[in-house]
A and B are shown apart, each in its own frame.
Chain A
Amino acid sequence: MSDLVALIVLFAILTIVGGAGRYGENRLKSLSVAWVVFLLVTFPTLSTEWARMTSELVDDDEDPHYGLPDIWEGKQVVCFNFPGENAPGGYDGGRHHIDSDGTKFLTDSNWNGSGACVGGFSGFEIGIELLDEAVVVSGGDFAYNSTQFSFGLQIDSIGGVEPCDAAPCPEDFSSGAYWGLYHNGQMALVGISDLPLEDDSVITWTIETW
């Protein structure tokens, strides 16, 4: 959004400076060249910012991208769901969205929960690679701790939130909690380090209890 405002201000300055002085056909010629060059050079930024600003949430609940910005259709996404009172700072009060370049946009305050989705990725083949990229893009807000077991990687905490912060974990293990991994809305059958991805995979981390 701030980039879009900066572009509009730059365009206005260019027009005012270029349009100063007496009217003439040559002034229109030079001004039109400046406009076209400016818009062509800034077009990738302009169109990306506009797409973010005008994006809507996917409302098809059969779609794995349900509730996500439509500009991420066909792209890979990682979502982190937190219990409301345990969300990392700045990620409570709905679901926040972070684009693949780290830009935050379109908070869904009606979402039943707290957390964030980092998306717009493509080309990742294994879940752990996508997760690591999402952590980097978010500036480390969703950095995780993990334990390597013979059966794979277990995620112990995400964004400093441990499952037992959100649910009672008695010492007798009569109940407990863990970071559950979902792939396209279904509980993943393998760990994140072995999870094969599709072009439009949505992986979701959410605290589950037993």
Chain B
Amino acid sequence: MLDAHAVTLSPIETFILNVFLLAIIGWSMWKAEKSLSPGSDAMVMALIGVFAVSGRVLLDPLPNVQPVTVIVLLAGIHYGAARSTVLATSVALVSNIFLGHGIWTLYQAAAWSLVGISGSLLSERLTFSGSLAVSRVAAFSVAAAFLFDWVVSLSALHSFGVDMLLVYIISGIPFDILHAAGNVFFVAWLSTPLSEMMSRHSTRRTVVRETVAIRS
């Protein structure tokens, strides 16, 4: 019997495949959102949730570079604390079905929820004249990377004492830096289109109302 799937990919080839798959999901999401009627915020939440889970799973080969933190932050800005918490928790749980579920899922859900809640509380400061202030969001996403990683690091207390926590956090700083750089990357490349998409269906506020109006 022919084994048509006996193809072994190198790590680089696998990564390229994953990026291609993520691009397909992102593009499809973008097209699908266009056909939604205004106010379909629940559907948009589901779409960006799928994109966030896909992004985290498919970019897993890269250490700590994933779009979830930025997506949850944007959800907090556009949809508020409650719905960003739902998104954060769902993304943590579903992505960990693929990546590994354990006590850390709780901390990841809490940390991403905290990012979303912070985004909600600071939404006035992270927008300017009704549009997303990309540079401020980028700066906040750097802080969010450290916030997320340090909250998740608290899960290490289940394995060792408080005295080792600081050592553990300090040893992880290179990973925090990479998370922060990845966040800036996702803010630079994704925040404007995602923000427009969320705004078109936001019942909480219309952050990029002017931008959308000009383009339409």
A binds B: yes
A residues within 8 Å of B by Cβ? Answer: 23, 25, 28-29, 31-33, 35-36, 39-40, 43, 46-47, 50-51, 54, 56
Give the nearest-CB partner of A55 in chain B: B171
User: Which one, B135, B173, B177, B189, contacts A39 given CB within 8 A?
Assistant: B177
Give the chain A neighbours of B65 by CB distance below 8 A. Answer: 36, 40
Give the total number of A-B pairs whose CB atoms are below 8 A apart.
52
In the complex, the answer to whether A35 meets B174 with C-beta atoms within 8 Å is no
Distance (whole angstroms) from the CB of B145 to the closest CB of chain A: 12
Known: A35-B181, A43-B63. A50 touches B174 (CB 8 A): yes
User: Which one, B135, B170, B181, contacts A23 given CB within 8 A?
Assistant: B135
Known: A25-B188, A54-B170. A36 touches B181 (CB 8 A): yes
Query: Could you tell me the distance between the alpha carbons of A25 and B135 in the complex, rounded to whole angstroms?
Result: 8
Known: A43-B174, A50-B171. A28 touches B181 (CB 8 A): no
Give the chain A neighbours of B153 by CB distance below 8 A. Answer: none
Query: Could you tell me the distance between the alpha carbons of A54 and B167 in the complex, rounded to whole angstroms?
Result: 8
Distance (whole angstroms) from the CB of A73 to the closest CB of chain B: 12
In the complex, the answer to whether B62 meets A29 with C-beta atoms within 8 Å is no
In the complex, the answer to whether A36 meets B174 with C-beta atoms within 8 Å is no
In the complex, the answer to whether A46 meets B184 with C-beta atoms within 8 Å is no
In addition to A31-B188, A43-B63, A43-B174, 9 A-B residue pairs with Cβ atoms within 8 Å of each other are A32-B138, A32-B181, A32-B187, A36-B65, A39-B178, A40-B63, A40-B178, A47-B175, A50-B174
Give the chain B neighbours of A39 by CB distance below 8 A. Answer: 177-178, 181
Give the chain B neighbours of A25 by CB distance below 8 A. Answer: 134, 188, 192
Query: Could you tell me the distance between the alpha carbons of A33 and B188 in the complex, rounded to whole angstroms?
Result: 9
Query: Could you tell me the distance between the alpha carbons of A36 and B189 in the complex, rounded to whole angstroms?
Result: 13
The 3 tightest CB contacts between A and B, nearest first, are: A32-B185, A32-B188, A35-B181
Distance (whole angstroms) from the CB of B146 to the closest CB of chain A: 15
Known: A25-B134, A28-B138, A32-B189. A54 touches B181 (CB 8 A): no
Distance (whole angstroms) from the CB of A48 to the closest CB of chain B: 9
Query: Could you tell me the distance between the alpha carbons of A54 and B174 in the complex, rounded to whole angstroms?
Result: 11
Q: Decide yes or no whether B182 CB sits under 8 A from chain A.
A: yes
Known: A28-B138, A40-B178, A50-B173. A33 touches B63 (CB 8 A): no
